[in-house]
Structure 1
Amino acid sequence: MAGSIACGVHAVRVLLSRTPERVLRVHLASGREIGRLAEIRTLADRAGIAVVGADPASLDRLAEGAHHQGVVAEVAPRSGDPETQLEQALETAAGPPLLLVLDGVQDPHNLGACLRSADAAGVAAVIVPRDRAVGLTPVVRKVAAGAAETVPLVSVVNLARTLRELKERGIWLVGTDDSASATLYDADFSGPVALVMGSEGEGLRRLTRETCDQLVAIPMAGAVESLNVSVATGVGLFEAVRQRSVQSARKKK
C-alpha cells in the first residue's frame, strides 16, 4: 500500500478539507455511510478521491490497532526532505517561530497528544529524531485528532546537528530538565524559540541537553516528581502562548 495511514473521522475530515491532494484513497465501512461518514464520502467525492467499501476486519487491519470509527485513509507523505519541510515551516510562520522538539518520545499516545497541543499553541513544526522514536503511526494520527495533518512532523537523522542549525538561525533552545535551577517561568518565549522535551523516563539525552541554550524545570507543588511528557509539553507550550499574548497586548497599547 502506498503512503501512510490516517484513521478516525476527525483526522480524515481534516485531511480531506485542508490537503485533499495528499489523500490517495478512502476506505469506508460498508453500509454505514450515514452521519459523519456520509460527510467523509461527500468530501472525498468532491475532491475526486476513490472511496472503497470495507468490512470491519479489513478496516481493523488497515488501522493497525487504532480506533478507526469506520474510516481509514491512505495518505501520501509530505513533499520535500526534512530540511525543506523545516525551512518551509520557518518561512511561513506567523511572527517569531515557535518550535517543539521531542527527543525520543516512544509512546504513540504521547506523540499524538503533543501534536494536538502543538497545533493549539500555534507551533510551526514538531521535530523528532528518525531513530529511537515513534513515527507518524495510525494511533498517533488518531490521538492527534487532526493535528498530525496541520502541524508538520519533521523527522531528522541527526537531532543534535539540527539543533545547532536552529541556533545558527537565531532560534533560542529551551530544554526541560527536572534538575535545572531555573524554572519554566524564567525562560523568555517571546522571540524565535524551540521548546525541547525529553523522552519518557529518560528525559533529554546528554548531547541534546548540552546543545540547549537554557535548561528549565517545571515547578511541582505536589508529591509527584514529574509530569507525563505530553502534559509537560502542553504546560511549556502554553507558557509560550501566554508570554506572546501579553507581549502582543502591550504592543497594541
Structure 2
Amino acid sequence: MAGNSQRRGAMRKTNKKGMEKGSGGQRRRGLAGKGPTPKAEDRVYHAAYKRKKEQERRARGRHEKPDTGEMVVGRNPVIECLRAKVPATLLYVVEGTNADDRLAEAVQLAQHRGIPTQEVPKHELDRMTGNGMHQGIGLMIPPYEYADVEDLIDNVKSTGEAGLIVVLDNITDPRNLGAVIRSVAAFGGHGVVIPERRSASVTAVAWRTSAGTAARLPVARATNLTRTLQRFQKAGYQVVGLDAGGDHTLDTYDGTDPTVIVVGSEGKGISRLVGETCDTIMSIPMTGWVESLNASVAAGVVLSEFARQRRAEVSGK
C-alpha cells in the first residue's frame, strides 16, 4: 500500500494520536491566544509606526539641538561687541590676514579682557561661518543664560522694592530687545521677560544695542506668556498692556505699585489672549497725527514716567 512500503525512502503512516515525542508542546503553544492586536503605530511594518518615528525624530531636532553659541564676524561688529563687553570665549584671526587699526584694536581688546586669540586657516573660518565674508576675524559668543521667571519674582521680593518688569510680546527685532533692556536698566527696572518662541532672543545684536546692560539685567524666557502674567498677578503685580486704544492714559496711571508693563510690536500690538489677561490697557498720549511708537521707545516713555512717580513718592515720605 502506498505509504506503507518497505522500500527505502517510503513514509510510514500511523494512526497514533497526540503530540509527537520531543515536540516540546510547540503545537499546544501555537493554539494559545496572542493577546490584543497592537495599535497601528506600534506595529513596525505599519505606515503609522513610520509616521510616529518621523515625528519623534523631528521633535528631537527642534527641541534637543544644542545651542553652541553665535559667531560674530567682520572687523567693525567684532570691535563693537568687544567694546560693549559682550561675553566671548574666543577670538579667531585668519592666518596671514593683513593687519590694520581695527584688527589690532580687536586683538588688544580681547587680550585686555582675557579672551584668548587663535589663528586659523582661512578655509577653517569659512567653514565655521558658512561664508567668506568674515574679513579674517570672528568672535565666538556663548549662549545667553536666561533667568527663570520664579527666580526673578523671588529676587525682586528679596530687595523689598516695588517690582518693575517689562514683558515683550511679538517683538522679533533683537535691536528692539536690546533697547528695551537698556531702558529697563536705566530707569530702575528689575528684568525683562520674553516668549520662548516667535521672539527675538539675546543675540550679539541685542547685546550691542543694550550697551552691555544685558550683562547685569536678568532676562527670563516664558513658555506661555498668559500663564506667566497670571503668575505675576498672583505675586501682587498689576499687569498693564500698552495699546493706542487703552481705557487709561499714562498721565493718570499710578505706577508706584509692583507693575508688569506688556509691550507689543508696532505692527501687531499685543496678542489677544495676552491683552485679555492684562488688568489694564493703557495708552500713551501723543500728537494726533502720529499713529504709534516703536516698541522700545514706548517702553522707555512708560518706564521713565513710572520711575519719576517712584522718585516723587520716596521724596514725599
* Deviation for aligned residue 1:168: 0.3
- What SS is found at the alignment partner of 2:112? helix
Q: How do residues 1-253 of structure 1 correspond to structure 2 at under 5 angstroms?
A: 2-4=68-70, 8-9=78-79, 11-13=81-83, 15=85, 23-27=88-92, 31=99, 32=102, 34-35=104-105, 38-44=108-114, 49-53=115-119, 58=125, 72-78=139-145, 82-87=148-153, 89-91=155-157, 93=159, 95-251=161-317
Assess if the C-alpha contact under 8 Å between 1:103 and 1:199 holds in 2.
Answer: yes
Q: Structure 2 stretches of 5 or more lacking a match?
A: 1-66
Query: TM-score when scaled to structure 1?
Result: 0.78
CA distance in 2, matches of 1:88, 1:249: 27
Higher helix share: 1
**Which has the higher mean CA deviation after the structures are superposed, 131-140 or 188-197?**
131-140
Q: Alpha carbon RMSD of aligned pairs, Å?
A: 3.3
Query: TM-score when scaled to structure 2?
Result: 0.64
Residue 252 of structure 2 aligns to which amino acid in structure 1? D
Assess if the C-alpha contact under 8 Å between 1:27 and 1:52 holds in 2.
Answer: yes
Q: Structure 1 stretches of 5 or more lacking a match?
A: 17-21
CA distance in 2, matches of 1:189, 1:53: 53
**What are the Cα deviations for residues 138-172 of structure 1, in whole angstroms up to 9, with x where unaligned?**
22222222122222221111000000000000011
CA distance in 1, matches of 2:212, 2:130: 15
Q: Percent identity?
A: 31
CA distance in 1, matches of 2:301, 2:143: 32
Count of residues paired in the alignment: 237
CA distance in 2, matches of 1:199, 1:182: 19
* Deviation for aligned residue 1:233: 1.0
* Deviation for aligned residue 1:206: 1.3
* Deviation for aligned residue 1:24: 3.0
Residue 38 of structure 1 aligns to which amino acid in structure 2? Q
CA distance in 2, matches of 1:83, 1:148: 16
CA distance in 2, matches of 1:121, 1:11: 24
Structure-2 change in CA distance of 1:143 and 1:187 (3 Å) = same
CA distance in 2, matches of 1:203, 1:83: 23
Residue 227 of structure 2 aligns to which amino acid in structure 1? R
- What SS is found at the alignment partner of 1:238? helix
Structure-2 change in CA distance of 1:15 and 1:87 (3 Å) = farther
Assess if the C-alpha contact under 8 Å between 2:170 and 2:265 holds in 1.
Answer: yes
Residue 113 of structure 2 aligns to which amino acid in structure 1? L
Assess if the C-alpha contact under 8 Å between 1:89 and 1:125 holds in 2.
Answer: no
- Report which structure shows greater RCO (CA 8 Å, sep ≥6): 1
